[in-house]
């Protein structure tokens, strides 16, 4: 068996040790994204309820945002600007600063499997918040891609005539709603796991607020 | 793997110590941070009533107006909505209105007159036979409801842009408004009114438009959501004053484009 890299391998960071774990721009975009994505989800549930894609799946109105369809649409189409522009700033700064590649790569399926087993058996440490383990890397990358899919399928629903290419990419108007819903479900699952992990490692919340 | 476990424990201990030391260093800062978090938690709890807040609603309405402009900018007058084949028709085409099917208005065709008003120079009163004599066109397009569902229908009538020119409408005006026999009212932007697929329809699926789909006429716009397509039209007016709409005045987005 090849020697595996332990989850706590030395940090490959070019930044000085006293630099914040999460730079200021990252914390700001993280929280703006959290606000926008949650508003989109809770208002989206109300919109979904007006004509459920899947018979039998109805979201209890009490946990939705907007009060009625018109209100929910207003929230949804207001928060979309924040989600999209904040997302563009996040991706641009992430790539431009080199953080994107240093934080998320290298990433291999084997590393994900190893860290997942370690995490599930309670052996994965979170001592160094400067470095993401392989499961974290995968989860964060997946949710970034998922948000992009949400925005694109949302655009295909909102402007199915103006964006024919996007509409066909999503398999037509009706199917774009299915894609939008499934991507939402994936995001909701991420939120649940993410918040649970933060509760298990409370220091990570402080880090995302203060930077250290 | 044993050695790894050991290492994890060592590093954990170190980080716990580091945490404790930091806490000792700045207790007041830490406390402040915690209180801020609690304030945030409280703010989240009040979220239940956030929709009733006037300032929030003012903001949301302002963004909705901004979205009108964004959609007008996105709207390509030459972009056509997809068309479908007879085999793809949704049968039965769903009835949808702000009232039940039993309350559909009954318009008497023989004494019906369409009124055309506002910024127009031509004929202001139209009978149904006069309207039926206008150039005829058919379309099979998808009706998309604001609720999310969609249905494909076959509509027949006269191109609206040509009708507007025929009545001498000022096509540089901002809005075309509609008043309907069921007390519905609606208004649209001029570029959409002049779109090639905007059709003043008198027929559904080759038959005279039934009452449930808007007899005697419905304005069919495959580039707009369902609620923007007025039925039972009795008056069409051209104006530069924003006329609003039945659902729009309650909070639906005015442009409502697709």
**Closest in A65, A68, A162 to B75, CB measured:** A162
Per-residue burial over B155-186, b if 16 or more Cβ lie within 10 Å, else e, is bbbbbbbebbebbebeeebbbbbbbbbbebbb
- Residue to mutate among B251, B252, B255, with most A CBs inside 10 A, is B251
B27 and B66 together in one domain: no
B48 and B70 together in one domain: no
Domain that residue A31 falls in = 21-52+63-105
B178 and B107 together in one domain: yes
Cα dihedral: A115, A117, A119, A123 (round 10): -100
B95 and B72 together in one domain: yes
Shortest distance, CA B130 to any CA of chain A (angstroms): 32
pLDDT higher than 70, residue B5: no
Peptide bond into B98 cis (omega under 30): no
Cβ neighbour number for residue B24 with a 10 Å cutoff: 9
B17 and B108 together in one domain: no
| Within a domain: B206 | yes
Chain B interface includes A159 (CB < 8 A): yes
Asked whether the beta carbons of residue B5 and residue A123 sit closer than 8 angstroms, the reply is yes
**Cα-Cα-Cα-Cα dihedral sign, residues B1, B3, B5, B8:** negative
Domain that residue B35 falls in = 2-52
User: Closest residue of A to B74, CA-based?
Assistant: A162
A112 and A173 together in one domain: yes
Give the residue, B119 or B35, on which the prediction is more confident.
Answer: B119
State the total domains in chain B.
2
Asked whether the beta carbons of residue B258 and residue A164 sit closer than 8 angstroms, the reply is no
A97 and A123 together in one domain: no
Asked whether the beta carbons of residue B5 and residue A69 sit closer than 8 angstroms, the reply is no
B159 and B34 together in one domain: no
Per-window interface: B 197-236 vs A, CB < 8 A: 222-223
Chain A interface includes B145 (CB < 8 A): yes
Are the beta carbons of B233 and B114 closer than 8 angstroms? yes
B73 and B32 together in one domain: no
A138 and A99 together in one domain: no
Give pLDDT, residue B17: 77
Q: What is the mean pLDDT of residues B162-187?
A: 98
A172 and A192 together in one domain: yes
Average pLDDT, chain B: 90
Q: What is the mean pLDDT of residues A5-16?
A: 48
B16 and B109 together in one domain: no
B13 and B77 together in one domain: no
| Within a domain: A124 | yes
A142 and A210 together in one domain: yes
| Within a domain: B28 | yes
User: A47 to chain B: which residues are within 8 Å by CB?
Assistant: 148
B133 and B226 together in one domain: yes
**A and B: number of Cβ contacts within 8 A:** 103
Q: Report the complex ipTM.
A: 0.87
Chain A interface includes B160 (CB < 8 A): no
Give pLDDT, residue A122: 82
Asked whether the beta carbons of residue B250 and residue A125 sit closer than 8 angstroms, the reply is no
A89 and A115 together in one domain: no
| Within a domain: A167 | yes
* Pairwise CA distance, residues B74 & A153, whole Å: 17
Asked whether the beta carbons of residue A69 and residue B61 sit closer than 8 angstroms, the reply is no
A77 and A150 together in one domain: no
| Within a domain: B257 | no
| Within a domain: A25 | yes
A161 and A198 together in one domain: yes
| Within a domain: A206 | yes
| Within a domain: A9 | no
Chain A interface includes B92 (CB < 8 A): no
State the total domains in chain A.
2
| Within a domain: B152 | yes
| Within a domain: A16 | no
Asked whether the beta carbons of residue A125 and residue B33 sit closer than 8 angstroms, the reply is no
Asked whether the beta carbons of residue B8 and residue A123 sit closer than 8 angstroms, the reply is yes
B96 and B196 together in one domain: yes
- Nearest CA-CA partner of B139 in B124, B125, B156, B127: B156
CA B2 to chain centre: 63
| Within a domain: B139 | yes
Chain B interface includes A128 (CB < 8 A): yes
| Within a domain: B258 | no
Adjacent-strand bridge partners of B236? B116, B178
* Pairwise CA distance, residues A120 & A197, whole Å: 12
Give pLDDT, residue B43: 57
A72 and A172 together in one domain: no
User: What CA–CA distances, in Å, run from A160 to A173, B136, B233?
Assistant: 6, 27, 27
Ranges A2-16, B26-40, B64-78: which has the least confidence = A2-16
A147 and A68 together in one domain: no
| pLDDT tens digits, one per residue of B206-218 | 999 999 999 999 9
| pLDDT tens digits, one per residue of A144-157 | 999 999 999 999 99
| Within a domain: B255 | no
Chain B interface includes A58 (CB < 8 A): no
Per-residue burial over B131-144, b if 16 or more Cβ lie within 10 Å, else e, is beebeebebbbbbb
Give pLDDT, residue A192: 97
Task: Give the pTM.
Answer: 0.86
pLDDT higher than 70, residue A184: yes
| pLDDT tens digits, one per residue of B100-139 | 999 999 999 999 999 999 999 999 999 999 999 999 999 9
* Pairwise CA distance, residues A12 & A131, whole Å: 9
| pLDDT tens digits, one per residue of A114-165 | 999 998 888 888 778 888 999 999 999 999 999 999 999 999 999 999 999 9
Chain B interface includes A127 (CB < 8 A): yes
Chain B interface includes A5 (CB < 8 A): no
A112 and A202 together in one domain: yes
- Confidence grade of residue A8 (pLDDT, cut at 50, 70, 90): very low
User: A157 to chain B: which residues are within 8 Å by CB?
Assistant: 148
DSSP chain B: -HHHHHHHHHHHHHHHHHHHHHHHH-HHHHHHHHHHHHHHHHHHHGGGGGGG-HHHHHHHHHHHHHHHHHHHHH--TTPPPPB--GGG--SSPPP--SS-GGG-----STT--EEEEESB-S--EE-HHHHHTS--EEEEEEEE-TTS-EEEEEEEEEEHHHHHHHTTB-TTSSEEEEEETTS-EEEEEHHHHTSTT-EEEEEETTEEPPGGGTTT-EEE-TTB-GGGS--SEEEEEEESS----TTGGGTS-SS-B-
CATH number of the domain enclosing B225: 3.90.420.10
A119 and A94 together in one domain: no
Share of chain A above pLDDT 90, in %: 82
Name the one residue in this structure whose structure tokens are 């964006």: A163
| Within a domain: B156 | yes
Choosing from B52, B73, B92, the residue where a domain stops is: B52
Asked whether the beta carbons of residue B8 and residue A206 sit closer than 8 angstroms, the reply is no
User: What CA–CA distances, in Å, run from B249 to A42, B147, B185, B221?
Assistant: 24, 17, 10, 20
Share of chain A above pLDDT 70, in %: 92
Give pLDDT, residue B48: 52
Per-residue burial over B59-85, b if 16 or more Cβ lie within 10 Å, else e, is ebeebbeebbeebeebbeeebebbebe
B230 and B170 together in one domain: yes
Give pLDDT, residue B196: 98
* Pairwise CA distance, residues B101 & B103, whole Å: 5
| Within a domain: A10 | no
Chain B interface includes A85 (CB < 8 A): no
Chain A interface includes B7 (CB < 8 A): yes
Average pLDDT, chain A: 91
- Nearest CA-CA partner of B118 in B203, B54, B193: B193
């Amino acid at each position: 068996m090849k020697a595996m890299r332990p989850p706590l391998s030395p940090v490959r960071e070019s930044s000085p040790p006293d630099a914040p774990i999460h730079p200021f721009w990252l914390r700001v975009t993280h929280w703006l994204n959290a606000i926008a994505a949650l508003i989109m989800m809770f208002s989206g549930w109300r919109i979904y309820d007006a004509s459920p894609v899947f018979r039998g799946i109805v979201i209890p109105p009490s946990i939705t945002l907007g009060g009625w369809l018109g209100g929910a649409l207003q929230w949804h189409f207001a928060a979309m600007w924040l989600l999209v522009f904040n997302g563009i700033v996040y991706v641009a700064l992430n790539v431009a600063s080199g953080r994107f590649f240093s934080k998320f790569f290298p990433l291999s399926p084997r590393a994900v499997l190893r860290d997942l087993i370690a995490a599930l058996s309670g052996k994965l440490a979170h001592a160094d918040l400067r470095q993401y383990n392989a499961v974290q890397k995968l989860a964060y990358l997946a949710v970034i891609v998922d948000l992009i899919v949400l925005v694109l399928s949302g655009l295909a629903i909102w402007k199915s005539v103006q964006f024919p290419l996007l509409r066909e990419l999503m398999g037509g108007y009706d199917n774009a709603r299915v894609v939008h819903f499934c991507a939402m479900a994936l995001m909701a699952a991420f939120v649940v796991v993410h918040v649970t992990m933060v509760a298990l490692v409370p220091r990570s919340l402080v880090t995302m607020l203060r930077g250290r | 793997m044993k050695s790894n476990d050991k290492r994890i424990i060592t590093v954990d201990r170190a980080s716990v110590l580091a945490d404790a030391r930091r806490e000792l260093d700045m207790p007041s800062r830490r406390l402040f941070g915690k209180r801020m978090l609690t304030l945030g938690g409280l703010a989240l709890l009040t979220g239940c009533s956030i929709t009733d807040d006037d300032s929030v609603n003012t903001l949301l309405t302002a963004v909705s107006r901004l979205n009108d402009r964004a959609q007008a900018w996105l709207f390509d007058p030459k972009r056509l909505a997809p068309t479908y084949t007879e085999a793809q028709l949704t049968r039965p085409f769903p009835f949808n209105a702000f009232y039940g099917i039993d309350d559909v208005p009954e318009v008497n065709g023989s004494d019906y007159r369409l009124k055309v008003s506002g910024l127009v120079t031509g004929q202001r009163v139209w009978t149904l036979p006069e309207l039926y004599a206008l150039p005829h066109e058919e379309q099979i397009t998808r009706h998309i409801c604001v609720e999310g569902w969609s249905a494909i229908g076959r509509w027949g009538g006269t191109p609206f842009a040509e009708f507007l020119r025929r009545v001498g409408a000022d096509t540089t005006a901002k809005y075309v408004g509609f008043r309907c026999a069921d007390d519905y009212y609606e208004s649209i932007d001029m570029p959409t009114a002049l779109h090639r697929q905007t059709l003043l329809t008198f027929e559904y699926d080759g038959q005279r438009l039934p009452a449930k789909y808007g007899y005697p006429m419905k304005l069919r716009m495959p580039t707009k959501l369902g609620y923007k397509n007025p039925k039972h039209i009795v008056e069409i007016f051209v104006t530069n004053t924003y006329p609003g709409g039945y659902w729009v005045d309650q909070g639906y987005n005015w442009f409502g484009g697709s």
